[in-house]
Structure 1
Amino acid sequence: MATRALVVGGTGGIGYAIACRIASESKSSTVIISGRNKPQEIPHANMEFRPLDASSMRCIKQYTDAYKLAPEGGKDRSLDLLVLTQGILTMAGRTETPEGIDRKMALHYYGRQLLIRELLPVLKDDAKVLVVLDGVRGGPPNKLNWDDLDLKRSYGLGSAANHCISMNDAMVQAYAARQQQQEGGPRRHFVHAYPGVVQTNIASSLPWYLRPAAQAVSHLLAVSADTCAEHMIRGTRECAAAGEKEGRFWSCIDDKGRLVASKPAWGEEQMNKIEEHTWKVIDDAINKTLPS
């Protein structure tokens, strides 16, 4: 079955493995991979690379605006699958982008939400959106600092992880809820996935004294990126099919692609607050006057 997919963060690691697996399923598929640097190898003829700095809200807006322009020759740009895997492993404290957002949170949360929002018009009615971060450990709302959701005043590595994970949880539910409010609307399925420990080169970004321990853990516990990709794709498809029968259009899945059935539902007021915060931070960043 032909699939048109966009994989952001698809130039390495899990994202690259997901892109390659989708491309290999059908020669009729089209897979766009986007990230900062073009991979050394693009192994399938139906894969293409488009550069994107996914830490910049302004770059993301320019990228999505260009994507949505009427294509030459009437080529359909509607997407069956949007996959968001961009991220960074760092032990540094709050490190702001020129737009005033912590780089880790820009990659793991804000940029992902902007990509979804801006690409909704080109997502097919039965499209699937896969956010790969941690669909298992997202805590209840009381884990959030509601007075400092972007952690300008209370940043820590643990709090940044909790906020990105939990707010992604809330947003996949919010997208599904807004969709269900439209009578006869689309049936897109939004998935937040936990990939587990995966064999990638991301540990190379750690300080030198932490790399041996990270490599040892990877050797003992990690699965290959291709195995992880198989679990993520299968889990997304299975949850989407089961969810449609149940009238549920969001899922969280674990590292084997299994539904996390115990995830709590977020309240309407909580989702509203997170949405309002998210779009304010993002739109302020887009409209920010940057130093020349």
Structure 2
Amino acid sequence: MSIRALVIGGTNGIGYAMACRIAAETPSSTVIISGRNKPETIPHPNVEFRALDASSMRQIKQYTDRLTSTHRDQKLDFLIMTQGILTMAGRTETAEGIDNKMALHYYGKQLLIRELLPVLKDDAKVIIVLDGRSGTPAKLDWKDLDLKKGYSLPSAAYHCIAMNDAMVQFYAAKQQQSGDTRRHFVHAFPGVVASNIMAGLPWYLRAPTQVLMRMAAVSTDTCAEHMLNGTYKVTEAAEKEGRFWSNIDQKGRMVPNKAVWPEEQLKTIADHTWAVIDGALECTV
């Protein structure tokens, strides 16, 4: 079976490993990887690179406009988003007025989903790799969702995690209302992975972090296996329950006891998200 996959953040780390696994397991597939820089090595002939700065809403919109105009008859089986950054810097706004960390970990991911829905197959799988375990409405500052006033590194992490949780449920609920597709939306926790994301840390934190990595981290290939196999398994199980969203842990297992967000909260998160994204798309630099 031929598969078409788009992996944002697929130029290194977990995303690169997921892209390579899909390409290797199904040689007839086409896998598009996107990030700022082309990898030095692309080991499979069915992998193609397209540049994208996933922290910029306008670049994402231009990218998705091109993709939707050329791929309407070549729809995607997978939309995988692993883009992210590990930094100790405080709030650092992009030219569009969004914190860079939140742009990568949350807002850009939601814009990609919204704009690429027309080129997703009816049974496509959408995978956000961030932290599918820890999100809860209780961790949100509902009066400052984009943290313009109360930013801290922990609060930015909490907000991105929780709002991604909310949006996988939002898309699933919206889909069920229309009743015409079976796309599955997954928020995944990769665990501790031996990738190069630690390069963004200050020099004095890299050595102890590398020790932790050697002790506890799994390889990017192992993580990719867990993420993809887990997605297949939870999708099958969840659909039997009539549910089209899932949260998975570092082994690809369903995260137990994830609460269903109230409709009102989902709407609040979605309205906020589109207001921030559309405001960024309209702004001039």
Distance in 1 separating the partners of 2:237 and 2:137:
27
Deviation at 1:137, TM superposition (A): 1.1
2:30 corresponds in structure 1 to 30
Distance in 1 separating the partners of 2:119 and 2:7:
14
Note the 1:129-144 alignment, pairs <5 A: 129-138=126-135, 140-144=136-140
Corresponding residue to 2:156 among 121, 142, 160? 160
TM-score (norm 1): 0.96
Deviation at 1:208, TM superposition (A): 0.4
2:109 corresponds in structure 1 to 112
Identity %: 68
- Residue by residue over 1:170-228, the C-alpha shift from the partner in whole angstroms, topping out at 9 and shown as x without a partner, is 00000000000013x10000000000000011111110000011101100000000000
Note the 1:75-114 alignment, pairs <5 A: 76-114=73-111
- Residue by residue over 1:214-256, the C-alpha shift from the partner in whole angstroms, topping out at 9 and shown as x without a partner, is 1011000000000000000001111111111110100000000
1:122 corresponds in structure 2 to 119
2:237 corresponds in structure 1 to 242
Deviation at 1:77, TM superposition (A): 2.4
CA contact (8 A) 1:132 1:195 kept: yes
Residues 1:229 and 2:231 aligned together = no
1:171 corresponds in structure 2 to 167
Distance in 2 separating the partners of 1:130 and 1:24:
19
Q: Which runs of 5+ in 1 are unaligned?
A: none
CA contact (8 A) 1:68 1:77 kept: no
Residues 1:46 and 2:43 aligned together = no
SS at match of 1:126: strand
1:195 corresponds in structure 2 to 190
TM-score (norm 2): 0.99
Distance in 2 separating the partners of 1:260 and 1:192:
10
SS at match of 1:153: coil
Moved segments of 4+, more than 2 Å: none
- Residue by residue over 1:81-139, the C-alpha shift from the partner in whole angstroms, topping out at 9 and shown as x without a partner, is 0000000000000000000000000000000000000000110000000000000111x
1:7 is matched by which residue type in structure 2?
A: V
Q: Which runs of 5+ in 2 are unaligned?
A: none
Distance in 2 separating the partners of 1:277 and 1:97:
18
Distance in 2 separating the partners of 1:269 and 1:262:
20
Distance in 2 separating the partners of 1:24 and 1:283:
38
